[in-house]
Amino acid sequence: MTDALKLGFGPFTSAGKLGSSGVLIVFCDDGLKFGAASAKALGSATGLVARAAKTERFTGKSGSALELIVPGGLNVARLVVIGTGKAAGLEAKEFLKLGGAAMGKLPASASEGVVFAETSKGAMTANQAADLAQGVVLRAYAFDRYKTQRKDEDKPPAKRSLTVATGDIAGARKAYESRAGVAYGVLMARDLVNEPANVLHPEEFARRTLALKKTGVAVEVLDIEAMKKLGMGALLGVGQGSVRESRVVVMRWNGGKKSDAPVAFIGKGVCFDTGGISIKPAAAMEDMKGDMAGAACVVGLMQALAARKAKVNAVGVIGIVENMPDGNAQRPGDIVTSMSGQTIEIINTDAEGRLVLADVVWYTAKRFKPKFMVDLATLTGAIIVALGQEYAGMFSNDDKLSERLTKAGEATGELVWRMPLNAAYDKMIDSKIADMKNTGGSRWGGAITAAQFIQRFVSGKTPWAHLDIAGTGFDSRSSDINKSWGSGWGVRLLDRLVADYYEK
């Protein structure tokens, strides 16, 4: 999953033990001011730093860095100064980002580093140091399992260690436990998204979710027979053109009171989306190995909730299929019957995600009667046209849930923007000969008509939100805490939603 990075916590005096091959990383603000421990560690190199800052026009802007190689007066290979901008009032997501920036400055050639959990305002709190550490781990991730021919000089050292130096080692370690659980969930999601579709087909995806059992998650896999019995004709229709069998996986974490209704998370897991008979053009089709990012997020989230022993009952349900053109594939014009009993005229076999969700959303609502449902799906190109890669599109029948998701988004930096739903859009998916059709008929409002389609399978008054993550789930903007193609987007957002509102 990631280069063997050994992350630890230690005292500020750890810097003294670095030696001539180590890297020392400290923070300064936009007035080039250091905290006391950092200033002390710099000692006689302070003047050198000031001169280098001037030469490099380094002003301590947030996330910017100044690097000094074999700095005179310090027994280290490299000194890295990272700017925090204004040091007052930094939020959790900013400490995360600083940790990512710090990890980014631990060069592949270095085997040992120390980063000071201190700003110009003084030592970071235990929580802040733990946020920093989480940022380190998220940044350290690389999907390199298929890189077999790297030359020795390009390989990272077999053992790399980074010590987070803090005034409160025990406190930081404790605060880090839950964050490590969440970080591991994000990395798990990234691994699933990055994995190619010849390896990660539906059965293999289902098999990998069994790893969650180790953390106390109950995992149940529904095979074709079980799905047929339930009447999941919409989901099964999508998978019927593939030699790989479809699966539904149900994951349950019971950390709350027995009598409490669960919160539910649902994911689109299209292991590869060729478009089916309505086949996609060749350009960038390879990206469609990531069309299961919604399902990957749900798996990572369940892992995270269990790892940090969240005081909540949560279910994760994912529909896993492969959308292929084949002699047995579904055709445009076909009519399928969903588990809800509603019939669907297939206009375009490339609008397959909503068909998968139709059955898993209905199934989840009926079986678990959840407090709310959030589904995630790389559902439409249209949402990328609307929002780019900065926000995921959010569609919801519930203002309270929407507001909470928006707040959790702002706190974590995984942003969501609410989009409209209404009767006029809903009408656009009426069919002449079936209960509905699977596209809106034109490209206009394509993300909205897709959401309207899903809403027809949200029974009754269950609070529901649909997150269209086509722009954020993969190939996303590289950031201080992610350099990977698969982003693991949504794990931190939904973990935060649960932590802030549903564990009391």
Least spacing, CB of residue 185 vs ligand BES, in Å: 22
Residues in region 251-280 near ligand BES by CB under 6 A: 273
Instruction: Tell me the window of 82-90, 165-173, 352-360, 424-432 that interacts with Mn ion (CB under 5 A).
Output: 352-360
Q: Which of 33, 121, 174, 280 is catalytic?
A: 280
Cβ atoms within 10 Å, residue 332 = 15
Active site residue 160: no
Rounded distance between C-alpha atoms, residue 206 and residue 247, angstroms: 7
Per CB under 5 A, 273 contacts Mn ion: yes
Q: Does 439 bind ligand BES (CB under 6 A)?
A: yes
Q: Does 353 interact with Zn ion (rule: CB under 5 A)?
A: yes
Alpha carbon separation from 241 to 279, 357, 502 (Å, rounded): 12, 18, 41
Q: Does the protein bind Mn ion through residue 468 (CB under 5 A)?
A: no
Closest CB to Zn ion among residues 80, 193: 193
Decide: is 350 part of the binding site for Mn ion (CB under 5 A).
yes
In the chain, the amino acid numbered 419 is: M
269 strand-pairing partners: 320
Contact letters for Zn ion, residues 281-300 (x by CB under 5 A): ----------x---------
List Cβ neighbours of 339 (8 Å cut-off, separation of 6 or more).
Answer: 230, 231, 232, 233, 234, 358, 359, 362, 363
Q: Which stretch binds Zn ion (CB under 5 A): 189-197, 270-278, 389-397, 480-488?
A: 270-278
At residue 465, what are phi and psi to the nearest 5 degrees? -135, 140
Give CA 287 to chain center in angstroms. 17
Distance of alpha carbon 304 from alpha carbon 315, whole angstroms:
13
Minimal distance, residue 280 CB to ligand BES, in Å: 7
- Catalytic residue at 496? no
Q: Quick one: which of 270, 265, 233, 240 has its CA closest to 250?
A: 265
How many Cβ atoms from other residues are within 10 Å of residue 333's Cβ?
11
Distance CA 119, CA 91 (A): 13
Token readout for 170 is 């025990």
Q: Does 470 bind ligand BES (CB under 6 A)?
A: yes
Among 118, 131, 191, 291, binds ligand BES (CB under 6 A): 291
Return the number of the residue (245 or 352) whose C-beta is nearest Mn ion. Answer: 352
Which among Mn ion, Zn ion, ligand BES, none contacts residue 439 (Cβ within 5 to 8 A by kind)? ligand BES
**431 lies in the site for ligand BES, by CB under 6 A:** no
Q: Is residue 191 within the footprint of ligand BES (CB under 6 A)?
A: no
Asked whether position 294 contacts ligand BES by CB under 6 A, the answer is: no
Task: Select 163 or 380, whichever has its Cβ closest to Zn ion.
Answer: 380
The residue number with the shortest CB distance to Mn ion is: 350
CA-CA-CA-CA torsion sign (329, 331, 337, 342): positive
Contact with Zn ion (CB under 5 A) among 118, 131, 273, 468: 273
- Positions 312 through 371 that interact with ligand BES (CB under 6 A): 348, 350-353
Give the residue among 293, 265, 319, 215 at the shortest CA–CA distance from 465.
265
Give yes or no for a contact between 394 and 402, defined as CB atoms under 8 angstroms apart: yes
Q: In the complex with ligand BES, which residue's Cβ is closer, 128 or 378?
A: 378
Tell me the closest approach of the beta carbon of residue 279 to ligand BES, in angstroms.
10
Q: In angstroms, rounded to a whole number, what is the distance separating the alpha carbons of residues 246 and 224?
A: 6
**Three state DSSP letters for 95-139:** HHHHHHHHHHCCCCCCCEEEEECEECCEECCHHHHHHHHHHHHHH
Which range, of 16-24, 32-40, 378-386, 491-499, touches ligand BES by CB under 6 A? 378-386
Contact set with Mn ion (CB under 5 A): 273, 350, 352
Contact set with ligand BES (CB under 6 A): 273, 291, 348, 350-353, 378-382, 439, 446, 470
Catalytic residue numbers, as ranges? 280, 354
Contact set with Zn ion (CB under 5 A): 270, 273, 291, 353
